[in-house]
């Protein structure tokens, strides 16, 4: 009997290893196809909290041709929103605020008394787009680096009309998450960067991850993928901040909350495990985070939520900013996690690439 059990265990192990070897080969082949189309970045696939595959395709720095590694940090763009949402949830658990707390109770001169924290989390606030506001020279001096605090100051000063009554519609909105970053600072009495590091990065084991700020641009660090865009006229890549279509990076890159997190595929796996294992918040709070409502039917707190027949619930987000295009997809029911991080704005990152990658694991 003992020999039989050992034999069955070895057979199962062999079958498991063979299956993983097939998945690894298929993902690598798919990534190389997209690399031939222009993809530059890193890919991760994990299952049951074990990393099955990581792959690096291209360069950290196109000028020096420094190759990518799985430890390299990428700007997450809007995939950062889940970290901002997590911080808010933690503050709610500490009973320092509630989801129904009015923003005006925390930011006294905020001109919209109807907006609550949950409206911001679920993109139901109807706020003006801060990027459009800051492109207007009447509103902002482009010689100055803007911050999330400056966004709130401009909102308070201009007192523009909302696009709709808060809580009545869903409209994806970066401004709301910038306001949430200011709320985190006012309630916690810490900078956003310090709070995220102490209460999320450290307990999750994300030792390499960073947050951008006025006085620290992570792209200046050796272990960070520099963002690039393609110059059609010159037929070559250029640093994103030199692209005339991305000049806003020169005065908006320190506006955080909706973006600003820099992390690696390896640290993102730690983030996923911290979320799954309730390391950062309780199970009850996690279920609230991953729930939708009648207005935001496909958005929870900081993540998009979809239900599928093949794999159950999707916990998803993508991001696009400067030289970055990113995607994270967590499948709670099968405990699988997919990540694509690009530092050259590869257009198919969350079009065909993510769809084809998802099909491989079905």
So which residues are the catalytic ones?
78
Question: What angle is formed at CA 19 by the lines to CA 18 and CA 25, rounded to 5 degrees?
Answer: 90
Count CA within 13 A, CB hemisphere, residue 21. Answer: 6
Nearest to 195 by CA among 303, 88, 82: 88
| C-alpha to C-alpha distances, 172 to 175, 230, 294, nearest whole angstrom | 9, 27, 15
Residue 123 zone, left/alpha/beta (φ > 0; ψ -120 to 50; rest): left
Residue 167 zone, left/alpha/beta (φ > 0; ψ -120 to 50; rest): left
* Residue 158 token pair: 């201009």
Residues 6 or more apart in contact with residue 349 via CB below 8 angstroms = 39, 41, 318, 325, 326, 327, 340, 342
A 10 A CB-CB count for 50 gives: 9
Q: Are the CB atoms for 280 and 201 separated by under 8 Å?
A: no
Q: Are the CB atoms for 334 and 362 separated by under 8 Å?
A: no
Sign of CA dihedral 171, 121, 284, 319: positive
């Amino acid at each position: 009997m003992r020999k039989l059990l050992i034999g069955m265990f070895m057979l199962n192990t062999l079958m498991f290893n063979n299956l993983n070897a097939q998945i690894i080969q298929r993902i690598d082949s798919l990534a190389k196809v997209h690399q031939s189309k222009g993809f530059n970045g890193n890919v991760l696939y994990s299952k049951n909290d074990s990393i099955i595959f990581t792959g690096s395709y291209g360069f950290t720095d196109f000028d020096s041709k420094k190759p990518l590694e799985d430890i390299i940090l990428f700007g997450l763009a809007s995939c950062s929103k889940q970290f901002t949402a997590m911080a808010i949830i933690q503050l709610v658990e500490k009973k320092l605020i509630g989801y129904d707390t009015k923003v005006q109770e925390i930011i006294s001169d905020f001109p919209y008394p109807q907006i609550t924290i949950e409206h911001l989390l679920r993109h139901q606030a109807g706020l003006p787009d801060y990027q459009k506001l800051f492109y207007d020279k009447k509103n902002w001096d482009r010689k100055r680096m803007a911050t999330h605090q400056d966004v709130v100051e401009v909102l308070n000063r201009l007192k523009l009309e909302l696009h709709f009554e808060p809580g009545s519609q869903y409209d994806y909105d970066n401004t709301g998450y910038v306001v949430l970053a200011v709320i985190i600072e006012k309630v916690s009495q810490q900078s956003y960067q310090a709070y995220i590091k102490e209460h999320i990065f450290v307990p999750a084991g994300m030792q390499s991850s960073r947050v951008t700020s006025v006085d620290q641009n992570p792209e200046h660090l050796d272990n960070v993928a520099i963002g690039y865009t393609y110059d059609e006229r010159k037929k070559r890549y250029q640093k994103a901040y030199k692209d005339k279509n991305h000049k806003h990076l020169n005065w908006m890159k320190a506006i955080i909350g909706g973006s600003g997190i820099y992390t690696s595929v390896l640290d993102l796996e730690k983030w996923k495990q911290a979320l799954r294992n309730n390391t950062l918040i309780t199970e009850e709070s996690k279920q609230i985070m991953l729930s939708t409502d009648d207005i935001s039917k496909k958005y929870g707190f900081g993540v998009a939520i979809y239900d599928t027949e093949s794999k159950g619930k999707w916990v998803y987000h993508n991001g696009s900013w400067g030289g970055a295009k990113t995607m994270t997809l967590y499948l709670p029911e099968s405990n699988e996690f997919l990540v694509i991080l690009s530092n050259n704005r590869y257009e198919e990152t969350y079009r065909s690439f993510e769809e084809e990658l998802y099909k491989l694991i079905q």
